């Protein structure tokens, strides 16, 4: 594994955590907003195929999910 591959893996992990922190911040900021549905971040590993005997380290991808189908609080 090259130094570039290790750095790319580290950056991928930091970007994934930044997405998660942003999702949590949105949930906190909108906790009193009428009609707001919470969001969640899901992580999955990104496996890169090895080519020519070289090892690729892969990384992490983030999927942000909005819970639009969850019932909310009724407010009159």
Q: What is the pLDDT of residue 22?
A: 93
Q: Per-residue confidence at 75, pLDDT binned at 50, 70, 90?
A: low
pTM for this model (two decimals)? 0.69
Q: Kindly state the tokens that stand for 65.
A: 């999910």
Instruction: Please name the residue that has the structure tokens 């407010």.
Output: 75
Q: Mean pLDDT, to the nearest integer, of 69-75?
A: 69
Contact (Cβ atoms closer than 8 angstroms) between residue 66 and residue 39:
yes
Pair 63, 16: CB distance under 8 Å: no
Q: Tokens 């999927």 identify what position? A: 63
For the stretch 52-67, pLDDT in tens is: 666 667 788 888 888 7
């Amino acid at each position: 594994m090259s130094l570039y591959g290790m750095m790319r893996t580290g950056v991928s992990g930091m970007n994934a955590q930044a997405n998660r922190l942003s999702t949590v911040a949105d949930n906190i900021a909108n906790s009193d907003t009428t009609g707001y549905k919470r969001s969640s971040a899901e992580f999955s590993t990104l496996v890169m195929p090895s080519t020519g005997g070289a090892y690729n380290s892969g990384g992490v991808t983030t999927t942000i999910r909005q819970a639009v189908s969850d019932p909310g609080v009724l407010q009159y």
